[in-house]
Structure 1
């Protein structure tokens, strides 16, 4: 099963279940996974604890062998039913603490924690003062400490913390405060609001003219993948987008990297007409990687009967997954876990630094940056 919220007022991720269905069409056209047909169930998580719990109960009822490549901010609601049924949760988006603490969770990235800690490291190189606009939620409350841990790498001041309602229709007051506190001397405004990040920056660029407009022109904007990505840049004008020049921290290589070519070919052949599946979307990318893990683990079992407990057992015993350069090699044995307080099950603590140039997200520096020590330091 793959679940994600769709048609809600907050963050929506319809591309994740759509990518899962395209993956199933592709792999079944190739003979399945080690001779097994892949059947994918999808579920609208609705951005609510009730919706997440309903999806998890359906997964149990339908006897799924794994929940793969899914998005939910309601970890407490869905993880308990999965744990009780022994269903592994492979490659969740990384938005909740439960994904990095549950023994049945096998994350493929370092979650929002790694993104925000890495973003602090990225901004520390260029920004004298940073304003952080983030959700006024329990998950959002963790973000300032993580960003500050990255900023400390260059002995920068702590970021100005500006909480905001996650599903607001405008953010004028937060945008005004963020601009004022960032200042005009190498100041940066970072917004991590998921799907509402575009709404925030719409408010930001509409701030009153005069001296304020001059200030806004000198303030650099930034975010993390999932809040800002290539689809958003394309929708807002490409090279003329307000995001031109923005700093962005991601988990994976930039969307134009050759390592994404296998995924692009599958999308071209099996989801070409589905506009939910954008190869530059972080949710789509995470789902591709998560199903890559599932495929390689099932192939390693070499058995006629595939069960959730067998998949979990193989992962716990050290099944190793090469993702073709999209992540470092993944493995979930005890010695591979980061062990950071609050995020003990992170195994991939690498991020990438990107920047928007001529309307495209491109690498600011080549390769991965290890943020493991920074995340650990922030969590202590």
Structure 2
């Protein structure tokens, strides 16, 4: 053997030995994923580029989360693979996303948004795939035994918003989508209003995908009146369009109605959030002074710092990922659940059955103060008639001051009893 060949052989043996020593004990190279542990495939879906509500930040946040976790050894040594899907805001689109999740071997659907729970839950249930941390917009998220919500959905928001408004509003007009999801909103808002002996809100259904809302805006202002009246709009992404129509209403001509334009406006997180306030003029936006009910702490809370760091490092140039967006925040919390569950399993292969079993058996999730500790045992469920799967029934009361959503009162407000009382 020549000296050059001997030197090359010794170099190869030395390199192989060094690599083997790195792999010993941990099963994965530091800062990388792989080794003996199989990848974990999940899906995140949301509507994008539709005429109604769009949530592009949710799949984008999921992808950023995967880049971050994989750069730091993966989920307990498993590479995280994130599939994304656009449900198109249609029944067919939601069902197609669910079928694709099944076909491509996803072990969970995580941090997603869709109004069409009946369309996506059936395929997931047939395949035993858990739905973790949906946005909370569909009722099926709070009835399916394979759904693990991280917030109280629209039910908690509307019940809480009624409690928030009851303190300041003599009359309330509710403008909401004229669809199945919107039909329940009045009773939920009224459950909160009536908890404080308020007589209840006036219901004003409106098309969710309308290009303008002059007629419902005029009705809402008239019904709210000029004496401590409040107009609440819960129209998802079209809430901005509604309030554009609202502020363009002509001034009332009757002297007795001279103050009618000073009616206070309000909404819930997801329909109004910091991105919308910023786009609308910040401190000079029509939302200045508006009441807003949310699920989580205000965006300036230190509890969001870990998420902000991940976004800064792995999604800094992606303008879809806004840390103040409720959809992005929900996706972050949902993936926090996934991470802690996978770590608790300590298994080389992760299945959908293992994940759902761990959650059903009482895996307790610490979200760092973004929610109360989350757990989905039978005893942890709220058990409301139409929303039995709610485990987090806390909300936050916020207000827009100098163009920023800030806490109106510190901490969380438990609205569980109010949701239970809703007809």
SS at match of 2:180: coil
TM-score (norm 1): 0.99
The answer for the alignment partner of 1:198 in structure 2 is 240
| Kept in 1: contact 2:251–2:261 (CA 8 A) | no
Distance, in Å, in 1 between the alignment partners of 2:87 and 2:125 is 18
Aligned: 1:184 with 2:258: no
User: What is the aligned counterpart of 1:217 among 255, 258, 261?
Assistant: 261
Q: Given that residues 6 and 12 in structure 1 are in contact (C-alpha distance below 8 angstroms), is that contact kept between their aligned partners in structure 2?
A: yes
Which one of the candidate residues 303, 320, 326 is aligned to 1:259? 303
Aligned to 1:359: 403
1:5/1:11 contact within 8 Å kept: yes
Deviations 1:265-293 (A, max 9, x none): 00000000000000000000000000000
- May I ask how many residue pairs the two structures share in their alignment? 379
The separation in 2 between residues aligned to 1:177 and 1:21, in whole angstroms, is 43
> Hey, what's the Cα distance between the residues in 2 that align with 1:61 and 1:190?
42
From 341, 358, 368, the equivalent of 1:324 is 368
1:169 match:
211
Q: CA deviation at 1:210?
A: 4.5
2:115–2:138 Cα contact (<8 Å) kept: yes
Residue in 1 aligned with 2:153? 111
**Secondary structure in structure 2 of the residue aligned to 1:127:** coil
Larger radius of gyration: 2
Please say if residues 149 and 378 of structure 1, whose CA atoms lie closer than 8 Å, have aligned partners that are also in contact: yes
1:299 counterpart = 2:348:
no
CA contact (8 A) 1:205 1:216 kept: no
Alpha-carbon separation, structure 2, partners of 1:39 and 1:222:
39
Whole-Å Cα distance in 2 between the matches of residues 188 and 345 of structure 1? 31
The equivalent residue for 1:63 is 105
Residue of structure 2 aligned with 1:235, choices 279, 298, 311: 279
> How far apart, CA to CA, are the structure 1 residues paired with 2:371 and 2:303?
10
- CA contact 1:100–1:345 (8 Å) conserved in 2: yes
Aligned partners of 2:252 and 2:260 also within 8 Å: no
C-alpha separation in 1, matches of 2:409 and 2:99: 44
Q: Is the 8 A contact 1:4 1:12 kept in 2?
A: yes
Write the distance in 1 (CA, Å) between the matches of 2:113 and 2:259: 37
SS at match of 2:259: helix
Residue ranges of structure 2 left out of the alignment (5+ in a row):
1-42
Identify which of 169, 184, 189 aligns with 1:127.
169
